[in-house]
């Protein structure tokens, strides 16, 4: 029986080799709207990796539509670069398209040299904190024409299709939504009028590119905005796109950037939003593409086989592992490096005006600079530490042709990735540990588990080069009473090595403290399979089930010396984690200093006043310190050495991965 993921599919008159669709993503790699070598190399690698269709972009339709880091499609001067991009994707086996978009009120005047962003109505954006200019009838007509002319350029450049973004809170979805469209003319008011702009855009594009050219729309299945558009209106709009505007395929995404429902982070279960593509697939007779958190072939093929969609959009999945499609096709799924949905290198970087990178794939965004070449002088390399830094160092050094031995003093590889993967909704980090271990195995790297390295072992092994990636250990702050029996370390709590009482106080409100608090707050809540059983049997009221899902058996208090909780989370992840802190009833106390741990709890000071918080267990989440004592031993022996990851400086898993990889590549 044919694998549904690799069955060919046709969009209009375009034949595609498989059902894997790389959606457009903000890459931040363009230079003054021009396609760069960096963009070319990024997409060439994903085409070689086996994706069936690749959508690049988004691309701008006029100067108000985006910023200079976006690919431009609003002028003929950009056609040569677009042609290069279309050519390289085709030459590497994939079909191609460009996503056109106008940011509307999501643009910043900063990017527009002080010009005011435009929108259907002058309603401020929570994303930008700016109020846009209301578009006139003439400006609406001009913008529709800009979309059509940009689509014609896309076709002229040699792309196989054009996609238009009509969701996510950008201009077309601003016309669709009653939240942002308060117009009283033909483009506002009723659903029929609010749909008009998007339909007119697609009709103009059809006229510009001809009847034989595939048109795709990426639209919301639900905008997740209170008072916005849910499934009912959007299903009706999907029908109109197909029946009135001759759109040939629909790619279904979810939410606006302002929505308070997580969309791309690890808290979202794999394939969670397939129900939205199913609802639209049932209403139209063109291919429908599911999106968001589809990071493994099995989830993808199940969505297709179960009739939830016709194709799957795998975006960040192919940032993390460009070869995912080919690995799946050739029976090597065990070698896939899965996206962990951390958003640290992809989405968070956009807020920093940096190009896309990846925690899981250190080469992402650096394809032009980090090609792996075999060394002419292989060396014997000792890697000390089997966490993310050590494993990536070993992988890179082995790929360079060195003889690598990896030493880990504990009985498994992965290090702190298992800590990061312990809290609810963070399990993908543990998956990364397993994925990196698989990469170690398929390279036949010599791994010595349960073996600590000392001076005698270095003398016996005589390595030419050492990479010290010994990680870190938790700090024990000098708080009186910290030696009491009811005091435990957060790391032990996360790994379920210790039990905690009903009343828990956590000292330290950084990432580890927040994750530990959420881990404990879930104790005693109703699990997902039980929730479904009770729901479908109508055994309990849905509101009661919600309470059971968020109200555990522990009272958790989180104290932090500074005035902010979770400061070391990335921007994309932090708001969702803090939302859960409130939802699960975790009490947070900022600007609060621990004075003394007592047999009854912990004494703290806040605002100049001291009090005692009753606690059965006190959990210490006060940070970590580097484990790098061997550095002096190595230096004394004169062995070339790189110190990476937490052994060098306490940081994020992202830093550990990239430092380890760079060290291995540099030998």
Q: DSSP letters along 610-652, please?
A: EEEEE-SEEEE---EEE--THHHHHHHHT--EEE-GGGTS---
Residues linked to residue 39 through DSSP beta bridges, in sequence order: none
Alpha-carbon radius of gyration of the chain: 27
At 373 the pLDDT is: 85
Q: Please tell me whether the peptide bond between 324 and the residue prior to it is cis, using omega within 30 degrees of 0.
A: no
Instruction: From 297, 331, 351, give the residue that closes a domain.
Output: 351
Domain match, 641 and 591 both: no
* 71-72 vs 95-101, strand pairing mode: unpaired
Rounded to 10°, the helix 137-156/191-209 angle is 40
C-alpha distance from residue 576 to each of 47, 162, 227 (Å): 33, 33, 21
The residue behind tokens 């828990």 is 504
Domain match, 278 and 247 both: yes
- The answer to whether the beta carbons of residues 507 and 594 sit under 8 Å apart is yes
Secondary structure element (H or E) that encloses residue 195, with its range: helix 191-209
**115 vs 108: CA distance, rounded Å:** 9
Domain match, 456 and 316 both: no
**55 vs 53: CA distance, rounded Å:** 7
Q: Is residue 171 part of a domain?
A: yes
Instruction: From 299, 334, 351, give the residue that closes a domain.
Output: 351
At 572 the pLDDT is: 81
Q: Is residue 269 part of a domain?
A: yes
At 349 the pLDDT is: 85
Phi, psi of 563, deg, nearest 5: -95, 20
* 555-559 vs 503-507, strand pairing mode: parallel
At 370 the pLDDT is: 77
Q: Is residue 363 part of a domain?
A: no
- The answer to whether the beta carbons of residues 2 and 282 sit under 8 Å apart is no
Q: How many domains does the chain have?
A: 3
Q: Is residue 525 part of a domain?
A: yes
Phi-psi region at 442: left, alpha or beta (left = phi > 0; alpha = psi -120 to 50):
alpha
Alpha helices in 228-270 (DSSP H): 231-243
Residues linked to residue 593 through DSSP beta bridges, in sequence order: 605
**271 vs 81: CA distance, rounded Å:** 35
Domain match, 457 and 522 both: no
Q: Is residue 357 part of a domain?
A: no
At 113 the pLDDT is: 87
- The answer to whether the beta carbons of residues 236 and 281 sit under 8 Å apart is no
C-alpha distance from residue 615 to each of 419, 588, 594, 601 (Å): 24, 15, 13, 4
CA 1 remoteness from chain centre: 33
Token pair belonging to 451: 């073996």
Q: Is residue 491 part of a domain?
A: yes
Rounded to 10°, the helix 528-536/542-550 angle is 170
Q: Which domain holds residue 661?
A: 380-473+626-666
Token pair belonging to 541: 């009221």
Domain match, 411 and 529 both: no
Instruction: From 622, 641, 656, give the residue that closes a domain.
Output: 622
Q: Is residue 390 part of a domain?
A: yes
How far from each other are the two terminal CA atoms of the chain, in whole angstroms? 47
At 569 the pLDDT is: 83
Q: Output the CA torsion 586→591→593→597 (10° steps).
A: -10
Residues linked to residue 377 through DSSP beta bridges, in sequence order: none
Kindly tell me the sign of the dihedral angle through the C-alpha atoms of 652, 657, 658, 660.
positive
Q: DSSP letters along 550-581, please?
A: H--S-EEEEE-SSS-SSTTS-HHHHHHHHHHH
At 639 the pLDDT is: 96
**155 vs 216: CA distance, rounded Å:** 13
C-alpha distance from residue 149 to each of 162, 267, 655 (Å): 12, 40, 43
- The CATH number of whichever domain residue 395 belongs to comes to 3.40.50.720
Domain match, 534 and 466 both: no
Residue ranges of the chain whose pLDDT lies below 70: none
Q: DSSP letters along 51-101, please?
A: -SEEEEEEEESSTTSS-TTSEE-SSGGGHHHHHHHHHHHHHTT-EEEEEEE
The residue behind tokens 């600007």 is 591
Q: Output the CA torsion 581→583→585→587 (10° steps).
A: 40
Domain match, 547 and 653 both: no
Domain match, 504 and 443 both: no
At 574 the pLDDT is: 84
Domain match, 515 and 593 both: yes
- The CATH number of whichever domain residue 136 belongs to comes to 3.20.20.70
- Residues with Cβ within 8 Å of 14's Cβ and at least 6 positions away in sequence, in order, are 95, 160, 161, 214
Domain match, 316 and 233 both: yes
Predicted TM-score (pTM) of this structure: 0.93
Helix, strand, coil percent values for the chain (each to nearest 5)? 35, 20, 45
Q: Is residue 264 part of a domain?
A: yes
- The CATH number of whichever domain residue 556 belongs to comes to 3.50.50.60
Domain match, 69 and 132 both: yes
Domain match, 305 and 284 both: yes
**616 vs 506: CA distance, rounded Å:** 11
């Amino acid at each position: 029986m044919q694998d549904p993921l690799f069955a060919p599919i046709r969009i209009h008159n375009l034949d595609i080799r498989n059902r894997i669709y790389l959606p457009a993503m903000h890459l931040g790699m363009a230079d003054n709207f021009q396609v760069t070598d960096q963009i070319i190399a990024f997409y060439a690698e994903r085409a070689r990796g086996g994706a069936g269709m690749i959508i690049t972009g988004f691309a701008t339709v006029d100067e108000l539509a985006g910023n200079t880091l976006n690919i431009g499609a609003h002028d003929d001067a950009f056609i040569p670069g677009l042609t290069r991009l279309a050519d390289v994707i085709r030459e590497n086996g994939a079909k191609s398209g460009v996503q056109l978009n106008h940011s509307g009120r999501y643009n910043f005047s900063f990017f527009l040299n002080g010009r005011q962003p435009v929108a259907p109505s002058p309603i401020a954006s929570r994303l930008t904190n700016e109020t846009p200019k209301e578009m006139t009838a003439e400006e609406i007509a001009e913008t529709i024409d800009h979309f059509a002319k940009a689509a014609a350029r896309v076709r002229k450049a040699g792309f196989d299709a054009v996609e238009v973004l009509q969701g996510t809170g950008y201009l077309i979805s601003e016309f669709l939504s009653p939240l942002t469209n308060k117009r009283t003319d033909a483009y506002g008011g009723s659903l029929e009028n609010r749909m008009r702009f998007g339909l007119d855009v697609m009709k103009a594009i059809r006229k510009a590119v001809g009847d034989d050219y595939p048109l795709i729309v990426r639209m919301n299945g639900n905008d997740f905005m209170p008072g916005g558009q849910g499934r009912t209106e959007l299903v009706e709009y999907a029908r109109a796109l197909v029946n009135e505007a001759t759109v040939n395929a629909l790619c279904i995404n979810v939410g606006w950037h302002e929505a308070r429902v997580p969309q791309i982070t690890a808290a979202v279960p794999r394939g969670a939003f397939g129900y939205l593509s199913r609802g639209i697939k049932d209403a139209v007779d063109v291919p429908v593409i599911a999106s968001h958190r589809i990071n493994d072939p099995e989830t993808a093929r199940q969505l297709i086989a179960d009739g939830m969609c016709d194709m799957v959009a795998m975006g960040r999945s192919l940032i993390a592992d460009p070869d995912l499609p080919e690995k799946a096709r050739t029976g090597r799924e065990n070698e896939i490096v899965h996206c962990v949905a951390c958003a640290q290198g992809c989405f968070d970087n956009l807020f920093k005006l940096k190009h896309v990178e990846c925690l899981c794939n250190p080469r992402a965004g650096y394809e032009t600079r980090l090609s792996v070449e075999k060394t002419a002088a292989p060396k014997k390399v000792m890697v000390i530490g089997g966490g993310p830094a050590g494993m990536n160092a070993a992988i890179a050094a082995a790929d360079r042709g060195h003889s690598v031995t990896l030493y880990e003093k504990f009985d498994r590889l992965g290090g702190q990735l298992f800590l990061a993967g312990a809290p609810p909704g963070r399990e993908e980090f543990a998956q990364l540990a397993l994925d990196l271990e698989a990469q170690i195995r398929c390279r036949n790297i010599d791994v010595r588990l349960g073996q600590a390295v000392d001076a005698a072992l270095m003398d016996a092994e005589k390595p030419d080069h050492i990479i010290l990636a010994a990680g870190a250990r938790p700090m024990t702050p000098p708080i009186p009473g910290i030696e009491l029996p009811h005091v435990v370390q957060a790391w032990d709590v996360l790994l379920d090595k210790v039990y905690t009482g009903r009343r828990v106080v956590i000292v330290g409100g950084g990432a580890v403290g927040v994750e530990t608090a959420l881990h404990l707050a879930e104790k005693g809540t109703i699990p997902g399979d039980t929730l479904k059983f009770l729901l479908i049997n109508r055994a309990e009221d849905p509101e009661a089930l919600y309470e059971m899902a968020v109200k555990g058996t522990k009272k958790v208090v989180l104290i932090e010396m500074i005035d902010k909780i979770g400061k070391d989370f990335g921007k994309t992840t932090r708001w969702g984690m803090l939302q859960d802190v409130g939802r699960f009833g975790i009490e947070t106390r900022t600007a609060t200093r621990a004075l003394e741990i007592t047999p009854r709890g912990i004494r703290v000071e806040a605002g100049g006043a001291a009090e005692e918080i009753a606690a059965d267990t006190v959990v210490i989440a006060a940070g970590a310190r580097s484990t790098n004592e061997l550095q002096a031993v190595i230096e004394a022996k004169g062995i070339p050495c790189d110190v990476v990851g937490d052994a060098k400086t306490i940081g994020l898993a992202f830093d550990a991965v990239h430092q380890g990889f760079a060290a291995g590549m540099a030998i």
